[in-house]
Chain A
Amino acid sequence: MSTDSPARKEEMVMEHLVSLTYRERLTPNLNRFVDRILEGELIGHRCPSCSRVYVPPKGYCPLCVVTTSAEDEVKVSDRGILTGFTIITPVAYYGQQATDPFVYASVLLDGASTPVGGQDITGVAHGRIHTGMRVRAVWRPPAERRVEGITNRGWGGLDAVIESFEVTGEPDASPEDYKEHLF
């Protein structure tokens, strides 16, 4: 009996695709964040203990481990500093739609203590992108803004509201202004 013919090998593989659906209500703090970004405004929570501003609001400060609420809400700018980036060549996998190299950057908005990650950078060639660049949000038209991708787990979704961050052409920020925000 041959056990290594191609037909025999094929029989050894069992396809078992599983689809699981998760539906979770957004937390009140994220709900509020979503309401505001649909209006073109970015908010965070200022920790009452250490004054750090988290964007989007988490509902707590992970450093002080205290809860934050609507009373701690602050508005932050839609302009900021590019604090870190990479250019990714997409790897093909089930469900992957990206095919061309894309920018994956972190932006520290003016007034925020935490950068927003996973942002696209435009208005500059990939080869000229560098940390410290001043950038501003390119908002999608109000009717085109989508928030389905924003989840309690904080895995992005902002790109369906803010298309990208484009470089403003202002002088670069001093490394002193963002050295605490390498993420």
Chain B
Amino acid sequence: MPARDIAIIGYAQTPSQRDAIQSEVQLLVGTITDAVTMAGIERREIGFTCAGSCDYLTGGPFAFVSNLEAAGSWPPISESHVEADGAFALYEAWMRLQEGDIDIALAFGSGKSSPSNPAEVWAQQLDPYYLAPLGADPVSLAAIQARALLDAGRATERDFAEVVARSRAQAASNPNAQLSGAVDVDALLAAPYHTAPLRRHDLPPISDGAAAVIMARGDKARELCSRPAWIRGMDHRIDPHQPGVRDITTARSATTAAKKAGYDGGPLDVAEVCATFSPQEIILREALGLPEGTQINPSGGPLAGNPVMAVGLVRVIEAAARIIGGSADRALAHATAGPLLQQNLVCLMEGE
């Protein structure tokens, strides 16, 4: 792992909300501006920009092109785009910084899930020859995963409800959360099934949102931020696509990504994980090897707000914010893509 000191020094996110009245570009205009302001830089100091979004979520080809309007793209900028969550844009920008010729990079992610039916859209992500014609949607797949976890004796429906209750309770202090507040586990368990064994609260809300992160290298980071969130390692891995050829009660690629990111299983103050369905938090806790005592998703996580294409980058922001704010010394952030935690990214951060 190359040892270039790169840190997060600025960030911003919109609240997660249903039916945002702003366009995706408008959501980004304010968010990127806020991140730049927090970092205490001028836009022209940004040496590389990387964006993450999804055409199919926005509902048109080349949808990401208009997002350039929020990035300050005149005069021309050095810029790239990933058809993926902003966390993968962060990876590309982090990599680009390591070449050493630039000091500051911007990564952002954005998406509005409200205009479409996410279950229909994401069903089109499955293998078009063998899986998509079956009409399996992400919720049904997640229910199969939850069932496998129950059948393996590794969790109970009460465990799922406890994940939800803790998420909502912790989200109470997160002004960007969409769902928050005290909920009783027994009351949750009394709710009818949505797609058995999942209940509605085991699913994430439908959210619109955007997030942006500013990174800087070495002395530049120290100059701009009194306590930068140093990225000690970042890695992402992908598993086979067919759910039938992998153990869906675990996420092997998350385990590999955590190791390659330099996470050794040692103490963590905070882990922000992209558990979009409540059983996935249980799977990720084991796959990432999170030790007892780690605060998991203090923001409430995706169950409290799920702005797809930004939600992974929001995990990085929530973890970095706790380091920059001084309440954590070591934090892990996780992002995912594909059905049933197929692709996983891990970012390990520390204070000085």
Contact = CB atoms under 8 A, between A and B. Distances in A.
Contact of B22 (A18, A27, A155): A27
Interface stretch (A62-70, A125-133, A171-179): A62-70
Interface in A68-94: none
Contacts, number: 70
B156 interface: no
Contacts of B26: 27, 58-60, 67
Q: Is the interface of A mostly helix, strand, loop or mixed?
A: loop
Given A16-B133, A20-B121, A27 B21 contact: yes
Contacts of B58: 153
B38 to A, nearest CB: 15
Category for how many chain B residues contact A:
35 or more
B115 interface: yes
B22 A153 contact: no
Interface stretch (B64-72, B146-154, B185-193): B64-72
Contacts of A24: 59, 112, 114-115
A154 B23 CA distance: 11
Interface string B109-131: 00010111100110010001100
Contacts of B128: 16
A141 B257 CA distance: 62
B69 A21 contact: no
A1 interface: no
Given A14-B129, A153-B60, A21 B117 contact: yes
B141 interface: no
Interface in A135-183: 152-155
B60 A155 contact: yes
Given A27-B22, A27-B23, A63 B74 contact: yes
A25 B19 contact: yes
Contacts of B25: 58, 60
A9 interface: no
B29 A67 contact: yes
B120 A20 contact: yes
Residue of B29, B32, B71 most packed against chain A (CB within 10 A): B29
A23 interface: yes
A59 B23 CA distance: 9
A101 interface: no
A20 B29 contact: no
Interface string B59-100: 110010010111111100000000000000000000000000
A14 B134 CA distance: 13
Nearest to A155: B60
A67 B34 CA distance: 12
A60 B69 contact: yes
Contact of A65 (B22, B24, B43, B60): B43
B60 to A, nearest CB: 5
A25 B23 CA distance: 9
B196 interface: no
A123 interface: no
B72 A65 contact: yes
Contacts of B23: 27, 59, 152-153
Contacts of B182: none
Nearest to B24: A152
Interface in B13-66: 19, 21-26, 29-30, 32-33, 43, 56, 58-60, 63, 66
A135 to B, nearest CB: 27
A65 B56 CA distance: 26
B132 interface: yes
The 4 A-B residue pairs with the shortest CB-CB distance, nearest first, are A62-B69, A22-B59, A24-B115, A22-B115
Given A24-B114, A152-B23, 11 more contacts: A21-B116, A22-B115, A22-B116, A27-B23, A59-B23, A59-B29, A60-B29, A62-B68, A65-B71, A67-B26, A153-B58
25 contacts: A16-B128, A18-B124, A20-B59, A20-B116, A20-B121, A24-B114, A24-B115, A27-B21, A27-B22, A27-B23, A58-B26, A58-B69, A59-B29, A62-B69, A62-B70, A62-B73, A65-B29, A65-B33, A65-B69, A65-B71, A67-B26, A67-B30, A152-B23, A152-B24, A153-B63
